[in-house]
Structure 1
Amino acid sequence: MRHCSVQVRGLLTRDELDRYNALIEVGSYLEDQSRYDLAYPVQKEIDLLILPAIERLKDKSRARDKATAEYLESLNGEDEEEE
């Protein structure tokens, strides 16, 4: 089973995280039993489950980029006032 990143896992809701952990456990068991044909749909379900958390991570990144741009713009404005 492929795990998602720690950043994505941190943005999962409690229900999503519980479901994620259960699916990982089931998928790992299936892989241990060499039932890759059954583990594949479990992995696909995990991939769908984490999509909202990935979007939340992207939103946080966009907000951080916007705040950085505003900060740099404010610094640029202060430099022009000093001259």
Structure 2
Amino acid sequence: MRHCSVQVRGLLTRDELDRYNALLEVGSFLESQKRYDLSYTVQQEVDRLVQPAIERLKEKGRQRDRADEEYLASLRAQAEEADD
């Protein structure tokens, strides 16, 4: 079973995290029983489950980029004022 990143796990809601942990436990059990056909299905469900958290992580990155751009624009404005 493939785990998602720590950053993504940190953005899962409590319900999503509980379900994620349960699915990983089931998938690991299936892999230990060499039932890779069933563990593949569980992995697909895990992948669908973490999609909203991945989108939240992307949005946080976009917000950070916007904040950085605003900060740089304010620095440019201050530099222009100082030159005048």
* Aligned-partner SS, 1:12: coil
1:21 Cα deviation after fit: 0.1
Aligned to 2:64: 64
- What does the per-residue CA deviation read over 1:4-29, in whole Å, with 9 as the maximum and x for residues that have no partner? 00000000000000000000000001
CA distance in 1, matches of 2:8, 2:58: 10
| 2:19 aligned with 1:19 | yes
Q: Which 4+ residue blocks in structure 1 deviate beyond 6 angstroms? A: none
In structure 1, runs of 5+ residues without a counterpart are: none
- What does the per-residue CA deviation read over 1:53-77, in whole Å, with 9 as the maximum and x for residues that have no partner? 0010011000000000000000011
AA in 1 matched with 2:29: Y
Aligned to 1:50: 50
| Coordinate RMSD, CA, aligned | 0.4
CA distance in 2, matches of 1:16, 1:37: 24
CA distance in 1, matches of 2:60, 2:37: 36
CA distance in 1, matches of 2:38, 2:57: 30
Please report the TM-score for the alignment, with normalisation by the length of structure 1: 0.99
Percentage of matched positions with identical amino acids: 71
AA in 2 matched with 1:11: L
Please report the TM-score for the alignment, with normalisation by the length of structure 2: 0.98
In structure 2, runs of 5+ residues without a counterpart are: none
Number of residues of Structure 1 aligned to a counterpart in Structure 2:
83
